[in-house]
Amino acid sequence: MYDKNNIFAKILRGEIPCKKIYESANVLAFYDVNPQKKIHALVIPKGEYMDLDDLNSKASAEEMVELIKAITIVAKKIGISDLVKGGGYRALVNVGENGGQEVPHLHFHIFGGEKIGKMVS
C-alpha cells in the first residue's frame, strides 16, 4: 500500500522543500538532494504510485504520457539533452528492494553533466 508519509509525498504536499526544475498538472521534477553525478534530477508523478507496476495499473494514459514527456523536457531544461553540444544523459527507475528503490514513490532519476559510466555495478 502507498505510504502517504514517504519523503516525495511530503515534497508534493509542500511540507519539505525541493529545488524545483519543472512542474505540470501531473508531474514534478527537482534536483536530487544527494547527487550521484554532476547533474542529478528526479522526475515524479504527482499521483500516488509506488512503482512502475502501480503506475501501469492505476494511472491514466494522460498521466503516463506526461511523465515520459517530462523526462525529455527536464533534460532539455537543465542543458544535458543536446547531443551535438556534448550532452547525453541516463534516465533510470529503481523498482523494489532488488532494484535499490529507497523512496516508495515512483521516480525517474536523470543523470548527466559528465560521462555516466557503467550501466550497472
Q: Which long-range contacts (CB under 8 A, 24 or more apart) does 85-93 make?
A: 87/112, 88/112, 88/116, 89/39, 89/116, 90/116, 90/119, 91/43, 93/51, 93/52
The answer to the question of residue 67 lying near ligand 5GP (CB under 6 A) is: no
Q: What is the tally of helices (H) and strands (E) in the chain?
A: 4, 5
Q: From the CB of 75, what's the least distance to ligand 5GP, in Å?
A: 17
Catalytic status, residue 105: no
- Shortest distance in whole angstroms from residue 105 CB to ligand 5GP: 8
User: Considering only CA atoms, which of 29, 65, 28 is closest in space to residue 47?
Assistant: 28
102 binds ligand 5GP (CB under 6 A): yes
Backbone φ/ψ region at 49: left (φ over 0), alpha (ψ -120 to 50), beta: beta
**In terms of CB distance, is 79 or 100 closer to ligand 5GP?**
100
Question: Minimum distance from CB of 112 to ligand 5GP (Å)?
Answer: 14
Residue keyed to cell 531544461: 77
Determine which residue in the list 1, 14, 25, 34 makes contact with ligand 5GP, applying CB under 6 A: 34
Contacting ligand 5GP (CB under 6 A), which of 32, 51, 87, 116?
A: 32
Under the rule (CB under 6 A), what is the footprint of ligand 5GP? 7, 16, 18, 30, 32-34, 94, 100-103
Any idea which residues carry the catalytic annotation? 107
